[in-house]
Structure 1
Amino acid sequence: MAIITDNDSGLVTETNTQGKSYTLPFILITCLFFLWGMAHNLDSILIPHLKKACQLDNRQSTLIDTAVFLAYFLMAIPAGMMLKKWGYKNSILAGLVIFAIGALLFVPAANTLAYGIFLVALFIIGCGLTILETAANPYATVLGDPAGATTRLNLAASFNGLAAMVAPLVGANFILSGKEFTPAQLSAMTDTARAAYLQGEASAVKLPYIILAAVLILVAVLFYFIKFPEIKNVSKEPTTGGSFFGVLKHRHLLLGVFAQFFYVGAQVCVTSFFIRMAKQGGGLDEKTAGYYLGLYGFLFMAGRFVGTAFLRFISSAKLLAIYSVVAVALCAIAILGNGAYVIYALGALGFFMSIMFPTIFALGIDGLGDDTKPGSSWLVMSIVGGAIIPYAMATVIDYSSDRIQPGYIIPLVCFLFILYYGLSGYKIKKHLITT
């Protein structure tokens, strides 16, 4: 059962979602999952690329992740307020426009070879992504039978997985040049030759981001002219009336926020250092490592579709726990293994991480009713893990004489907490705070 509000007339009616077609809205929402997947997975290319173009160390390069995911933390509350006041459609429009503005800022950033402008552009992109995810994730769960909410969200998120395969291929072909020089070789160049090389590396990002901005504007126009129903869940248990802080009385949501924090941090760690690990541990060149990252993305996408199919036969919490156990084992192989086995372990992690974000999200907002929107904001805000945890991993790497493998102890610990959430933390229990 759901409440359907016509945004144009303001009419509120209660209707049964079963039997009602939300096919077109669901397809368009699914497109958003692909678009923000492109943005996030291009970051995995930008980190090694801008590290080279702007001559950065490990921790400086992870500021790319910090800029994007810090925006999630700072923008989550405004995004939740926007969603409550404007509704799903208008919030999505705002997110698309802000996302496009950030993408276009890559042009002046590349022209001036200014890392600071790149970080500002990425922060703005992160703000747009926050709004989109705050609106699109819960919207996907309520566009149909409540019993299929987790399956529906995983299906939409499968196209986020498609982007995880496409983005590295785009990056490898249009951003990564394959030209690398040691510090000694760069020092031996003339000032003109060195400046031309660095400028050429930075300029490679312009065309992909201009095209991305154009697609975002086109999708925004499409959303503007199509009518969407505004859907609000009917409460399944007592609510706090949509209070932002009051919603944390729901224990399973609070633990879900922590689980999402650790999951996003772990995923970003794996992808951000994938290319450097493939080069250091597998002896691959830059462009070939980029293609292997695309293979990781393919496994991530396959995992989303396979996981969606598994959810027809196994509970989402149990599947989350099983995948977490495997992820812990694969991290151990990445830390202790040698050569190509390390790359294979990281690639397989893509498959077993694939269902974690949407599953944690759906479990976290389960039964929240009127608290769904602020609960969604908290789960999106927890994505700040992607700003903090990779920096911790980079610190471990720097203190390990630039060896990447020891750093993977960080995502291993993250997956242990997710395992706990899948075994117990997801269960809906009494509120932590009584009123």
Structure 2
Amino acid sequence: MSQQKKQWGAIIIMIALFAMIAFVTNLCTPMATIIKNQGEISNVLAQIGNYGNFVAYLIMGIPAGMLIAKYGYKKTALIGLIVGMVGILIQWYSGQLDAQANLGLVFGVYLVGAFISGLCMCILNCVVNPMLNLLGGGGNKGNQLIQIGGVFNSTAAVACYILMGALIADATKAKIADATPALMIALAIFVIAFIVILFTKIEEPEQAPVEVSLIKGAMSYRHFALGTLGIFLYMGIEVGVPNFVNLYLISDCGIAAGTAGMIVAVYWFMMLIGRFVGASIGNKVSARTMITTVSTITILLVLFGMFAPDTQVSFPGVDWGKLEVIWAPIPMGIFSFLLVGLCTSVMWGAIFNMAVEGLGKYTAIASGIFMTMVFGCAVMMAIQASVADAFGYINSFWVVVFCAVYLLFYALVGSRINTKK
């Protein structure tokens, strides 16, 4: 009974960290709206927060795995939280600088803060994903626990979008300093989590030494190598859809940032619903079946959203100043884009589950490599932003279609376990 309680205690803490990761990471997208309105700034430059946050995964992925091997999950989580506190404070400081006097300095300081926060997110991701998979015993049960963590991850993402939408109700006048309440909430969450984890006992699984020389061994598994590319491209779907829907609604449709934030929050609410479903069926439905189904639906939804008629339909929003529900006209295709959240809800956990299956002694280093590939978000955001600048926001969703097609290939062919000799 004591061992069971300890295990559930560890599960609850890992799930709480999952939620924290979403709140802090999703600050980057509404912040892109603020940055884009500081002057004549392209979509590519507006994504600097996402670049800083996700490029950090490229730097920290493998070192994070080494930290876990040396210090264990608990101490590594504490290290990550301290790093996160520093990153949040630097982002806050960037908002206290005079943007009119030196906009470049403001962006530079903000980028450093986003990068340091990204280091934290990478470390925490390296903790929560393999830990939940291990606590669930791998296979379908491991996938189920990761999906449960995803439920809380999506809840935090919805809260982030609603809060930021309220703070930057008028995007044309918003400054980085306007995001101070959200940054302070994130800082408080880090502090509370640090204290709770510090005084909580976590049953640590045995860790094999993590050596860079093991990278070759892990990458010799074809299903893992293809899975790393899968998570690289998946990030382009998960973040790209809400990010560019948000920019499209504000820039092309003239919808207030507060209302647009509430509309985009529906995407994360769809992810929340999808993860509830994924968590409930995760021990019965294989990860391969999940990815096959949701990648196919994603392709269909995005294509419909791109080619749907320009018919305007009413969508519920919130006037946060008066605390009233309002209705805003948006293009019909936006509904289709928002429904993609139902599909992305189970992608992360299922791809991770398939990619690390059967790796044995390479699992620890594989987790680090896997997290490194999350920097694909920065690359895919830059690619989609470039397409948006050249051909418009709607045409930029061809990038999302490409990513979904690859995931379908991975589920049907690439995820089959086969060691490359």
- Find out whether 1:142 has 2:134 as its counterpart: yes
Contact 1:260 1:357 survives alignment (8 Å): yes
- Helix, strand or coil at the partner of 2:332: helix
Q: Does 1:42 align with 2:27?
A: yes
Shift of 1:232: 3.6
Deviations 1:390-418 (A, max 9, x none): 11111111112xx2000000010000010
- CA–CA distance in structure 2, aligned partners of residues 144 and 358 of structure 1: 12
**Alpha-carbon contact 1:244-1:374 (below 8 Å) kept:** yes
Distance 1:282 1:333, change over 3 A: farther
Query: After the TM superposition, which residues 142-291 of structure 1 pair with which residues of structure 2 at under 5 Å, given as runs?
Result: 142-147=134-139, 148-174=141-167, 176-178=168-170, 180=172, 201-232=175-206, 243-279=214-250, 284-291=255-262
In structure 2, the partner of 1:193 is none
Q: Do residues 416 (structure 1) and 405 (structure 2) align?
A: yes
2:215 aligns to what SS in structure 1? coil
Q: Which residue of 2 aligns with 1:190?
A: none
Choose the corresponding residue for 1:328, options 289, 299, 302.
299
Q: How does 1:25-104 map to 2 (within 5 A)?
A: 25-53=10-38, 55-104=40-89
Q: How many Å separate the matches in 1 of 2:236 and 2:171?
A: 30
CA drift of 1:324 comes to 0.2
Instruction: Decide which of 109, 113, 117 is 1:117's aligned counterpart.
Output: 109
Letter in 2 for 1:118: Y
**Aligned counterparts of 2:114 and 2:211: Cα–Cα separation in 1:** 35
Q: What SS does the aligned partner of 1:111 have?
A: coil
Q: How far off its partner does 1:101 sit?
A: 0.9
Moved more, 35-44 or 115-124: 35-44
C-alpha spacing 1:389/1:241, structure 2 compared with 1 (3 Å): closer
1:308 pairs with 266, 271, 279, which one? 279
Which of 1 and 2 has greater Rg?
Answer: 1
Q: Write the letter of the residue equivalent to 1:362.
A: N
Shift in Å at residue 116 of structure 1? 1.0
Once residues 326 and 281 of structure 1 are traced to their aligned partners in structure 2, the CA distance between those partners, rounded to angstroms, is 26
Q: Which amino acid aligns with 1:333?
A: F
Check 1:65–1:272 CA distance in 2 against 1; reply closer, same or farther (3 A cut): same
The counterpart of 2:388, out of the listed 388, 397, 411, is 397
Contact map agreement 1:265 1:383 (CA 8 A) in 2: no
Runs of at least 5 residues in structure 2 that lack an aligned partner in the other structure: 100-105, 311-330
CA-atom RMSD in angstroms: 2.1
Is the 1:169–1:294 Cα contact (8 Å) retained in structure 2? yes
Kindly state the Cα deviation for residue 309 of structure 1 after the two structures are TM-superposed: 2.0
| Structure 2 counterpart of 1:321, one-letter code | T
| Long gaps (5+) in structure 1 | 1-16, 181-196
| Structure-2 change in CA distance of 1:142 and 1:361 (3 Å) | same
Equivalent AA in structure 2 for residue 425 of structure 1: G
* Aligned AA (1:111): Q
Identity %: 24
CA–CA distance in structure 1, aligned partners of residues 171 and 183 of structure 2? 21
Contact 2:88 2:117 in 1 (8 A): yes
Match of 1:294 among 265, 277, 285: 265
SS in 2 for 1:404: coil
- 1:54·1:115 contact (CA, 8 Å) conserved in 2? no
